[in-house]
Structure 1
Amino acid sequence: MDKLSTKHFMFFIFGTSIVTLKTYPSLLIQSGGRETWVIFILASILLFFYYISIINTCKRLNIYDITEIYRKALGKYLGVFFISFFYFNIFLSVVESSALEANSMHTNMFIETPIWYLQLLFIVPAIYTLTKNLNAIKICSLIGLIFIFLAGINLSILSAKYKQYKLLFPIFPEGINISHITTLIKVLGGYGSIAISLPYLKFINDKTHLKKHSIIAVIIVIQMEIVSIMGVISSFGDARASTIFYPKLIQTQLINYFGFLESGEFFVMLQMVGGWFVKYIMSFYILLLFLREIFIDYKNSIVYIVSTIVFALSFLVAKNNLVLFKNLNYYLYISFFNYILIPLIIVAIVRLRALNQPNK
């Protein structure tokens, strides 16, 4: 049966939000500098209130369909217009997942393996999962994320002795500037992928503990991201970290115990490939549900059509690192508007209308 519990939903929050900022923090350190970790803390606080305010609004209105909330706030036609931007951003997240998985593995692990080949190894297995039902997405995500968490804990322990926390200080010696503000927006844009979990709210069977489990999940996501960015800066310093495409993959190469234990790359590779695969299928599945409402006669054909488009677009941006990271910079700004700012405005409109309605 295609239903979720609130505990399952926690994993959908993990799967959509964790991997983005952990994969390319160098893009944020370039503009945020040494203080990027402080900006992460501020962005994390804002993210917490953003997500919980949306959950509170859904519970108050007893509406758990994000499309319906948009229509309630803006009307039928304007609501559909703006929700289309939301789902377009989900499509960009699907392209991002495919491009970054292939490019990160090609850049750091399999430099002689063509990017298109790595993409096929990623997209083709995903097609099989996506042609099934929600249970297939749920099972793949649960198994994948459990292994990812175990790998993350292992990496934290193994890499602890290589971190120099003095590299995190001093903070803001020259005050706050415009680069810090733009970094905050980009961090929120990276965090914004958590909004992909919102369309899954309608599949939750018993929503009694939705807020409680959502709070726990968001707090776990926040602490993972803050620990991750602090670990990167304390391992390399901000100047060096900002020049590395995928610093987490390089960071694990430091690990060496007893002269032979050097398995850090395996754990972070598991995190990268598994994390992007989970985000890919979660994003793709919810995009498919939206497309099937429009092209109802095509059913599973949409999976193959969209997968082909994603393969072509992700290959174009992933084949060159500089092009990819330039587009990722734009992607973070777009995500900030479509995943964070516009949903907040929608929620504010709905809440104001609910307050202005006379009690019956």
Structure 2
Amino acid sequence: MDKLNFKHLFFIICATAIPALKTYPQIFMREAGKDSWICTIIAGIIIIIYFNYICKVCVKNNSFSLYEIYTSVFGKIIGNILFIFFLLTLFLSLFGSASLETNVVHTNLFIESPNWYIALFIVLPGLYVMIKGKNAIMLVLIANMTISIINGTNLYMLTYPFKEYNRLFPIFENGVNIKFLMGIIKALGLYSAVYTVMPYLGEIKEKEKIRRCSTFSLIFVAQMIVISTNGILTTFDVERANAIIYPKLIQTQLISYFGFIASGEFYVIFQVLTGWFAKYMATFLAIFLILKEFNIKRMWNVKVLPYTISGVIYIGVLCITNDLLNLFKYINFYSYMCLINFFIIPVIIFIIFDFKSRRKVPKAQC
């Protein structure tokens, strides 16, 4: 499998971070209310600093194997346990990606089509692309995220006249309370899905450009999320926005221009589908890159593992999407799992790893 270019990192970061925060912002909007856009700003700044530090540690020590970093910090037993939790969270991302995409299509396009039928059009194409290898996956990521970003830009311009920015005021009406802090925590949990990118860093040729590219990419992602959240809050009253399952879809129904451009629902549905499929494929490949650490690379050649994982994902999707309330409970649970395994634990691990590596340098010089 060929090495990746550092420019690919932009599309991988966008694919892992954007879909969740744009599709179901109610996760943090129900906590922070009209101050949710401020939560996304704070969470975005934290995640930029966090990921920049992790990349700095990896580049400085020329160490890009997560398995080696985890086990060197906590030893074989605890390191393996934490690494398995990281891998399980990646699987939760796969379940969530396929489930949300299935539910969006079922809820908004083909209500009479059963979930098991719609899920086939996600799992089977994903399996086909996965079998074709890394180059095919990167082509899908680049094409899907480009389309998604263009659609998002068009939607911002088309919906601009329907936004009332006075709905954002007063700011901090209830002060900085526990709900506002919970909004930041939940937004941070969804943002931290960007940690899915870590297995890709070892595949990139220009290691010295990783920090610069990742910082630029996360700044781009953060401004998109802030604008998206701001757009929902200025289009709807916050209570109304929290009561809608997918507010972006309802927001675009207001669009009407020149008598023939009516309802931008197609834009946002296409954006959601391309974004979630890109996240699905990015997470799928990340799992394979992780499994290489356990010497399961041979399964890639005989195509056993892609079929097995796809089958498990398909069964999981059917279980999750049967009840919409269960789906959103799962998403809420997923945000906490991401916060723990993609943010809190990695921060602790990389701080200790950085401290240990600094202590080794003077000894080596002596």
2:262 is matched with 262
2:321 corresponds to which of 318, 323, 334? 318
Could you tell me how far 1:77 is from its partner in structure 2?
A: 3.1
CA distance in 2, matches of 1:31, 1:315: 29
Contact 2:199–2:290 (Cα < 8 Å) also in 1 = no
- What letter matches 1:36 in structure 2? S
Q: How does 1:77-92 map to 2 (within 5 A)?
A: 77-92=77-92
Contact 2:73–2:353 (Cα < 8 Å) also in 1 = yes
CA distance in 2, matches of 1:296, 1:212: 31
1:26 is matched with 26
Per-residue deviation, residues 4-50 of structure 1 (Å, max 9, x unmatched): 11111111111111111100012221111111111111111111111
Task: Say whether residues 1:305 and 2:308 are aligned partners.
Answer: yes
1:60 is matched with 60
Per-residue deviation, residues 32-75 of structure 1 (Å, max 9, x unmatched): 11111111111111111111010111111111222222122222
Could you tell me how far 1:259 is from its partner in structure 2?
A: 2.6
2:335 corresponds to which of 328, 332, 335? 332
Q: How does 1:197-208 map to 2 (within 5 A)?
A: 197-208=197-208
Q: What RMSD over aligned residues (CA atoms) do the two structures have, in Å?
A: 1.4
2:144 is matched with 144
Consecutive unaligned residues of structure 2, counting only runs of 5 or more, are none
CA distance in 2, matches of 1:283, 1:78: 24
1:353 is matched with 356
CA distance in 2, matches of 1:106, 1:37: 29
- What letter matches 1:109 in structure 2? L
Could you tell me how far 1:260 is from its partner in structure 2?
A: 2.3
CA distance in 2, matches of 1:88, 1:258: 50
CA distance in 2, matches of 1:264, 1:50: 36
Could you tell me how far 1:144 is from its partner in structure 2?
A: 1.2
- What letter matches 2:341 in structure 1? N
Contact 2:28–2:182 (Cα < 8 Å) also in 1 = no
Over 3 Å off, 4+ runs:
289-299
Please, which moves more after superposition, 224-233 or 171-180? Answer: 171-180
CA distance in 2, matches of 1:332, 1:303: 26
- TM-score normalised according to structure 2 size: 0.95
Contact 2:101–2:276 (Cα < 8 Å) also in 1 = yes
CA distance in 1, matches of 2:174, 2:208: 48
Contact 1:168–1:237 (Cα < 8 Å) also in 2 = no
Please, which moves more after superposition, 247-256 or 103-112? Answer: 103-112
CA distance in 2, matches of 1:331, 1:358: 39
CA distance in 2, matches of 1:160, 1:66: 43
Per-residue deviation, residues 301-343 of structure 1 (Å, max 9, x unmatched): 1111111111111221112111111111111111100001111
SS for the counterpart of 2:261 is coil
SS for the counterpart of 1:208 is helix
Contact 2:27–2:186 (Cα < 8 Å) also in 1 = no
Q: How does 1:1-360 map to 2 (within 5 A)?
A: 1-291=1-291, 293=294, 295=296, 298-299=299-300, 300-359=303-362, 360=365
CA distance in 2, matches of 1:320, 1:227: 31
Could you tell me how far 1:85 is from its partner in structure 2?
A: 0.7
Could you tell me how far 1:139 is from its partner in structure 2?
A: 1.0
